[in-house]
Amino acid sequence: MICGIHHAAISTPNLQRLVDFYTSLFGFEVVMNGGWPKGADEMDDLVGLRGSSTDVAMIRLGNSMIELFQYASPEPAAGDPQRPVNDHGITHICINVKDLASEYPRLKAAGMQFNSEPKSLESIHCVYGRDPDGNVIELLEIPDPESPIAQA
């Protein structure tokens, strides 16, 4: 039985920078640190790599989690911090917020880059921005708790 999404995962060149970004600006908490050394054959089989090694942090906010990976090996290809959302792959992580009108200027003042000012679209308010690695984050406010897309 499929129950729902447990977490999204992001690979980063700087684990601590991303942990600091999500914990200090969004209020996530670190719930697990770990990883594996080179030569962990079971992990290589699982992730489909050979000679992999990584540090990992799992962070949580409410009932949402993000798993952050910093691979030491094999050498990862550099990401494009301006990758357009229409390129194949994960397009964004959506963070549910209350009072987007306050969160947007707070995050912008902290250095988060946004594509635009927040928009009001039918029954939602939202804006897209980027974390320090260029991963797209949507901030979403759903004022009507009875909306079919409101979080349970």
Taking the domains of the chain in order of start, what are their residue ranges?
1-74, 89-152
CA dist., res. 37 & res. 72, Å (int): 9
- Of 91, 128, 111, nearest in space to 24 by CA: 111
Would you identify the CATH topology of the domain 1-74?
A: 2,3-Dihydroxybiphenyl 1,2-Dioxygenase; domain 1 (3.10.180)
pLDDT(151) > 70: no
To which H or E segment does residue 140 belong? strand 136-141
With helix as H, strand as E and coil as C, how does 39-65 read? CCHHHHHHHCCCCCEEEEEEEEECCEE
Share of the chain above pLDDT 70, in %: 97
What is the structure's pLDDT at 1? 62
Mean predicted confidence (pLDDT) in 14-26: 97
User: pLDDT tens digits for 30-88?
Assistant: 999 999 999 999 999 989 999 999 999 999 998 889 999 999 999 998 888 888 888 87
Would you identify the CATH topology of the domain 89-152?
A: 2,3-Dihydroxybiphenyl 1,2-Dioxygenase; domain 1 (3.10.180)
